[in-house]
Amino acid sequence: MYTQFYGLREKPFSLSPDPRYLYLADPHREALAHLLYGIEQGEGFICITGEVGTGKTTLCRTLLQRLEAGTEVAFIFNPQLSGLELVQAINAELGLPVEGLDRRELIEQLNRFLLTRHREGRRVLLIVDEAQVMERDALEQVRLLSNLETNTAKLIQIVLIGQPELDAVLESPDLRQLRQRISVRWRLEPLSAGDARDYVRHRLRIAAGAPRELFTDLALREIHRRSKGIPRVINLLCDRALLAGYAAGAKAIGLGLVTETDREVRASQRSAPRRTGSRFSGFLPALPTWVRDGAVPVIGGAFLLGLALVGWLSFDPLSTAEEALPGVASPPPEEPLSQPAASPAPVQERPSVDSPPPDLEALPPVDSPPPLSPPEEIGQWEDMPHPDDLAAPVDLATALGRSSPAVTIAESLDALLESWAQPAASAELLAWPQLVASLRDRGFNLLSLRDARLATLHAVDLPALLVLRALDGAPRYAALTGVDEAGLVLEGIAPEPLGVPEAELVEAWQGEAYIPWRDYEALPPVLRPGAAGPKVAWLQRSLMRLGLFRGASNGRYDAATIAGVRALQERLELGVDGTVGPVTKIQLYRALPGYTVPVLRSSRDGGPS
């Protein structure tokens, strides 16, 4: 349909796997390297997890192509089997007879086969895809298969690939023996903004036979933001945007088309189970509203009817799983996550933008966030302009007046989750309690600030949710995600990130902010002198890694520990008190390797500030 219009030989964003379109972004290359290394080193158990649509199947196909000659593979792609059925499936994959054999006979036969292949110097690999759905009996059988070994080598190597639920399954106490045998674990992360851009251009180049720049830079950034870097969702958005662009006669896909396409796809996903009436009506929400309302003058009714028919027959909305990162505890927040205050205190005197930050470890308690009034139209920007006008610059006051509370809280939450490489929240998120619940479900704590200054936010250096006030006095929410030459970058209050001068922000912000953060080690709310236990020992080891602790790692918060904490706080220019509160924890995790802590990124270079 749109292929000829855009000079393409075929659809570039089909959801079906095609080896010609293989693109290994950095996350896939790293995961593949870990897989190949583990296999080459003869490791018994390897585990790879990733969200729905991140490319696990692509990774499997690539792995099979890269294995050394002579490797025999049993690939189980439907593992909802009992233990006996699993052994039968493995033997059948390896070409062994299974009829009339009980479990003991099947395993003896498999063992003889593996010994023969070992003497021949050939490797045998078992790959289980979608392993998160395996029954306990099947997982225990997999563990028992790993016992098939000689004195020097494993006879069969096992690769488990699944969604993040697999990590939670493996953390079960009854599976600790299996968990302890996994020597290589890797999580397949979503694509970065740069990888997503290159991924889209790669697929267009393959489909056209030559480089094709059909998406503007702003559109590509928005595709990454709205897809959260999930390749399958990128494919869906790009395909629908090209279809809408074709309907609109647009030679290039801009920000407006991507924004409207994403909103319409989300609306279609929500309404799909309730589809009624004409069977053509189910596709119409997948076209931008300004196309449906007749804003495309050169397209006749017969064409639109055919467009709707093809779209209805092919539409396959996606859903992405949402859960916390594996292995991250969800400790109680430092302060109650209550509703924001109904109305802000009157401002007597605005603090200076350049004022020094207060003692961040002694921040005042938070009252409550402002209640949300229900929006007139859920999920839409109020007074949404035509997509051709979306790229026009707007100031903060205009953006606040054009948005609704419910939309800004949902969009801001998504921007915050993106900064932590987390999947988007529900498109039906409407109110403050749901935001708090969504963050808690992902293992976040919430650092709550009242009467804060911009210098405080710069000092914490984490993306934050700001409570702003529109001219009508109603609350709006914006995610502070970056800094640039003009000031601060806000998301959630406009269809694209908005650069706001600091002085302009001060006019709309009363100093109320909420900062999600992760307490990876589930430390006590505040670690103080006199405390003792394994958490203090972890603190001592961490300070030692940073060259700030010279005492014994004895698990007692003694004078040497106090000195180490004070040295850390001095180095990071925090309030120096020798105790470890939330801000010291945040900066400690940031200083240590192995912990992911975002920063307020700079829009000048696309990287962290």
Q: Which residues contact 547 (CB under 8 A, 6 or more apart)?
A: none
Alpha carbon distance 244, 286 (integer Å): 8
Tens of pLDDT, residue by residue over 289-318, are: 333 333 333 333 333 333 333 333 333 323
Question: Which residue intervals of the chain bear CATH 3.90.70.10?
Answer: 360-386+393-517
Token pair 């999947």 in the structure block, residue: 423
Assign residue 95 a region (left: φ > 0; alpha: ψ between -120 and 50; beta: otherwise): left
Domain 26-188 has CATH 3.30.2310.20: no
Tens of pLDDT, residue by residue over 423-447, are: 776 544 556 667 777 788 788 998 9
The pLDDT, as a whole number, for residue 425 is: 67
The pLDDT, as a whole number, for residue 435 is: 75
**Regions in the chain scoring below 70 on pLDDT:** 17, 19, 268-394, 425-433, 484-486, 601-609
Tens of pLDDT, residue by residue over 106-117, are: 999 999 999 999
Alpha carbon distance 553, 542 (integer Å): 10
Q: Output the pTM of the full model.
A: 0.45
The pLDDT, as a whole number, for residue 391 is: 42
The pLDDT, as a whole number, for residue 364 is: 39
In terms of DSSP H, where are the helices of 509-581? 534-545, 559-571
By the 8 A CB rule, do 362 and 438 touch? no
Alpha carbon distance 533, 407 (integer Å): 45
Task: For 186-207, give the DSSP string.
Answer: EEEPPPPHHHHHHHHHHHHHHH
Of the options 1.20.1070.10, 3.30.200.20, 3.90.70.10, 3.40.190.10, the CATH number for the domain spanning 360-386+393-517: 3.90.70.10
The pLDDT, as a whole number, for residue 595 is: 85
The pLDDT, as a whole number, for residue 301 is: 36
Alpha carbon distance 546, 277 (integer Å): 65
The pLDDT, as a whole number, for residue 390 is: 41
Number of residues assigned to the chain? 609
Q: Please give the C-alpha separations between residue 205 and each of 23, 187, 214, in angstroms, as whole numbers.
A: 12, 29, 10
Torsion of CA 173, 174, 177, 182, to 10 degrees: -70
What is the 8-class DSSP label of residue 375? P
Within 10 A of 270 (CB to CB), how many other CB atoms are there?
Answer: 16
Alpha carbon distance 134, 348 (integer Å): 62
**What would the two tokens of residue 488 be?**
């601060």
Query: Smallest Cα–Cα separation from 564: which of 581, 582, 546?
Result: 546
